[in-house]
Amino acid sequence: MEKIPQSVREPLHRVDSRLKVTGAARYSAEYPLPGLVYAALVTSTIAKGSIKSIDSKAAGNAPGVLAVISHKNTIRPPGYPADNEHPTEPSTRGQPLRVFYSNQIYFNGQPIAIVVADTFERATYAASLVKIEYSKDEHRTDFHANTGKAVLPESAKKNPRSALADYDRGAIDGYKHAAVKLEAEYEHPAEMHNPMELQAITVHWEAHNKLTLYDKVQGTQPTQQNFAREWKLPVENVKVIAPFVGGAFGNGLHNWPHETAAIIAAKMVKRPVKLMLTREQMFFMVGYRPRTWQKVGIGASVDGRIVGISHSSIGQTSSYEQFTESTLQQSRMMYTSPNVSTRYKILPLDVSTPIWMRGPGEATGAFALESAMDELAYLLKMDPLAFRLLNYTDADPEKKLPWSTKFLKECFEMGSKAIGWDKRKLEPGTLSDGHWKIGYGMGVGTFGANRGGAKVRAKLFANGSLVLQSAVTDIGPGTGTAMTQVAVDHTGISPNSITFQLGNSEFPQAGNQGGSSTVNSVGSAVIAACMALKKNLLALADKNIPEFKGLTLEQVIFEKDGIRLKDKDVGMSLSELMKKSGTADLDVIEEAKPGEERKSYSMYSYSVHFAEVHVHSITGMVKVKKVVTCADAGVILNKKTAGNQMIGGVTGGIGMALQEDAVMDHRFGRYITKDFADYHVPVHADVPDIEVFFADKPDYIVDPMGTKGIGEIAIIGVAPAITNAIFNATGKRIRKLPVTPDKLI
Ligand code: MOS
């Protein structure tokens, strides 16, 4: 039996909630530096071509304007490579678009000038006065008209073992020989990143070679390294500060042109510069979930055993950068199919580069796979849950390795019970309530239980308070809270005496907050740092408390802010111990890294989502009535913050299934959905009661806490759960997202 250590305890409240609700939390556009000036971007209104002329006279003469900077008069970051025509060597990681580098236009909405003024309003007004003449080239933005031009990504060409390369297990397209089979195409549009906090940066050149950025990013050190490289500065001369991030779902994993534009501006005007994108600009230049076309061929024997799955996918990218994501992973490992073929391609268009969006790739792929599973179950006249159970994998069929842990069956059980799956009818369109047709659907999700190396500093002060530091950011999940919990568990210090400081590139090493890996990575380093502290404390006890002489860590207990003997009621508070030993403070930095276990096990988190929807038979309106979401994410450190993650993911999935749709007018190659009036995301009225369940079983192979990662699996599989429920309600199979009412009447 697995032990279930955490499930009963009370979760910590968010450690930063007071700062957030009182407005004391400072975001990247909220640093009132002396001499601060404001910037606004001028962006292109054509999708491809070049700038013939820029008339910045009126803008330059407008009140309060300090500079109008474009390719005509800009300084060049010294790290920019010389050749701009075929950008193969990105100046920052994954950002080959060089700002104001030439007169070339690569996409509609590209930053082509930046105006700096003494107020935000004056900068914005002056930016509107810049007149541009273009020489237009014919652009290619229409995905459907160009699917024939899709290509294998360079990385897959170079490495045939890459997860993006063609994959075959068993016979190629083996599904074709199955007794019951189907082929279907699925598609979703581009989905735009729209976190609450707009992308913003405040730039301060503290000296000619010393740069401080208050930047909305998901990683302080990756950003530090990128801009150190771009400006040819020693890494330690670039400081990136991001202690609070107002939501980020992947677009802060990349650095974008507006950041470089603001750094150039600050350097040129010799003042700190603040640049915040407008909501409209968020739709054009900071990434999005790429429009993707997919085709699934799937077949099974008459008794429901899967014979083959073939899954191909084409995702859009830009003309200057190859964005790829892991769309087909779930099809390779989720079900016991002897024959699996996957084919991944990208389609370069004259658009800005896409980027990861929560459950990147996997959420896209799961929509196709989990829809196809539902379709095949219907053809087999099988319950879709029974069909999935029959084809459940107890080991990884792709890597041929055991799972570290997998408790998806337990999730199936909890979730199906809570949604009332037994009410579901096999035959669609059977249940109704007046004009409302009622249906139930499910969708499964998975995401790698990732972990990277990280370091944490732990400083125990003489008064017994503990400060922990990591460069990691918190984009919303409550990293400080979870890390405080880990420190409580491993030092016995009470949560009120612990402060977890983050979001500063000068703190010990951490990667991006992304890929559902922060708790696994940084939490492991917190444990390592706590362990080092405990060793130091035991050494102090050894010298200063006679009963502790010669003891090992196994013979003592750290609890209630103190240390005591395991078998006797002898102990001392940590502050007393420090005082007695004359120690001012203890200060350690420790590192934790994943090890060899990654070669012997396959590690994934899992989720299953069950949805009940009501579809109006006349208007086609869809109401998601209830969602039950269940996760196998290892041990749950904090039910409240983890539950928030699941609810947020389901909310995103509702948007993906029913609302989000970035519409482009191909005459101009420009998105015409550019605010929340046109581009819909779920509001409270769209979001039903969401019930969250966790398997809450530890996976000590992934990391010493037994956690596996939650952020992505919260959304992966939600959209198909909803569209499958719509099919069950109406008998209508909509394979093109979003499922708007017009598609149902
Ligand atoms: Mo996430 S798409 O790794 O922010």
Q: What's the 175 CA to ligand 1 centre distance in angstroms?
A: 33
pLDDT tens string 633-689: 999 999 999 999 999 999 999 999 999 999 999 999 999 999 999 999 999 999 999
**Mean pLDDT of the 215-233 span:** 96
The amino acid at 224 = Q
Nearest ligand 1 atom to the CA of 251 is: 4
Of 191, 355, 358, the residue with max ligand 1 atoms within 8 A of its CB, to mutate for a pocket test, comes to 358
CA–CA separation, 439 and 431 (whole Å): 7
Bridge partners for 628 per DSSP: 610, 691
Q: pLDDT confidence of 620, banded at 50, 70, 90? A: very high
Q: Among all chains, which residue has been given the structure tokens 């060049």?
A: 76
- Whether 711 shows a pLDDT value over 90: the answer reads yes
- Whether 216 shows a pLDDT value over 70: the answer reads yes
Q: What percent of the chain has pLDDT over 90?
A: 96
Identify the CA nearest to 717 among candidates 641, 613, 628, 636: 628
State residue 454 phi and psi, 5-degree precision. -155, 155
If residue 265 lies in a helix (H) or strand (E), which one and from where to where?
helix 257-269
Separation of CA 358 from chain center:
4
CA dihedral 226, 231, 235, 241 (to 10 degrees): -70
List the Cα angle 165/190/127 in 5-degree steps. 120
- Whether 56 shows a pLDDT value over 70: the answer reads yes
pLDDT value at residue 33? 97
CA–CA separation, 102 and 85 (whole Å): 10
Contact 570, 549 (CB under 8 A): no
Q: Which residues are within 8 A (CB) of 518 and not within 5 positions of it... i.e. 6 or more apart?
A: 472, 477, 479, 510
Q: What's the 81 CA to ligand 1 centre distance in angstroms?
A: 29
Nearest ligand 1 atom to the CA of 248 is: 4
Of 199, 249, 479, 713, the residue with max ligand 1 atoms within 8 A of its CB, to mutate for a pocket test, comes to 249
Residue with the nearest Cα to atom 4 of ligand 1?
250
pLDDT value at residue 7? 46
Which residue has better confidence, 82 or 302?
Answer: 302
Nearest ligand 1 atom to the CA of 359 is: 2
* Residues within a 6 A CB radius of ligand 1: 218, 249-250, 253, 356-358, 360, 514-515
Bridge partners for 318 per DSSP: 349
- Whether 392 shows a pLDDT value over 70: the answer reads yes
**Mean pLDDT of the 411-416 span:** 98
Nearest ligand 1 atom to the CA of 356 is: 2
Of 712, 713, 715, 716, the residue with max ligand 1 atoms within 8 A of its CB, to mutate for a pocket test, comes to 712
Give the number of other CB atoms < 10 A from CB of residue 147. 13
CA–CA separation, 111 and 6 (whole Å): 49
Separation of CA 391 from chain center:
29
pTM: 0.96
**Mean pLDDT of the 222-235 span:** 96
User: To the nearest whole number, what is the mean pLDDT of the chain?
Assistant: 96
Token readout for 251 is 């677009």
**Mean pLDDT of the 373-391 span:** 98
User: Is 741 buried (19+), middle (13-18) or exposed (0-12) by CB count in 10 A?
Assistant: middle
Work out the widest C-alpha separation in the chain, in whole angstroms. Answer: 85
**C-alpha pair distances (Å), 540 with each of 534, 550, 578, 586, 663:** 10, 11, 8, 11, 66
pLDDT tens string 12-34: 999 999 999 999 999 999 999 99
Q: What's the 10 CA to ligand 1 centre distance in angstroms?
A: 28
**Mean pLDDT of the 553-581 span:** 95
- Whether 603 shows a pLDDT value over 90: the answer reads yes
Using only C-alpha atoms, the chain has a radius of gyration, in whole angstroms, of 27
Could you give the residue numbers annotated as active site? 712
Nearest ligand 1 atom to the CA of 514 is: 3
pLDDT tens string 458-483: 999 999 999 999 999 999 999 999 99
pLDDT tens string 489-500: 999 999 999 999
**Mean pLDDT of the 222-234 span:** 96
pLDDT tens string 440-464: 999 999 999 999 999 999 999 999 9
pLDDT tens string 90-145: 666 767 889 999 999 999 999 999 999 999 999 999 999 999 999 999 999 999 99
- Whether 723 shows a pLDDT value over 90: the answer reads yes
CA–CA separation, 320 and 85 (whole Å): 10
Q: pLDDT confidence of 10, banded at 50, 70, 90? A: confident
Q: What's the 514 CA to ligand 1 centre distance in angstroms?
A: 4
pLDDT value at residue 81? 76
Separation of CA 416 from chain center:
27
Q: What proportions of the chain, in percent to the nearest 5, are helix, strand and coil?
A: 30, 30, 45
CA–CA separation, 693 and 716 (whole Å): 16
Task: Put the strands of the sheet holding 131-136 in their side by side order.
Answer: 104-105, 49-55, 131-136
- Whether 85 shows a pLDDT value over 60: the answer reads no
142 φψ region: left (φ > 0), alpha (ψ -120 to 50), beta (else):
beta
- Whether 80 shows a pLDDT value over 70: the answer reads yes
pLDDT value at residue 2? 38
Query: In the chain, what is the straight-line distance between the N-terminal and C-terminal CA atoms, in Å?
Result: 51
Q: What's the 324 CA to ligand 1 centre distance in angstroms?
A: 14
If residue 206 lies in a helix (H) or strand (E), which one and from where to where?
strand 200-207
pLDDT tens string 243-260: 999 999 999 999 999 999
CA–CA separation, 374 and 389 (whole Å): 13
pLDDT value at residue 159? 93
CA dihedral 247, 703, 163, 710 (to 10 degrees): -30
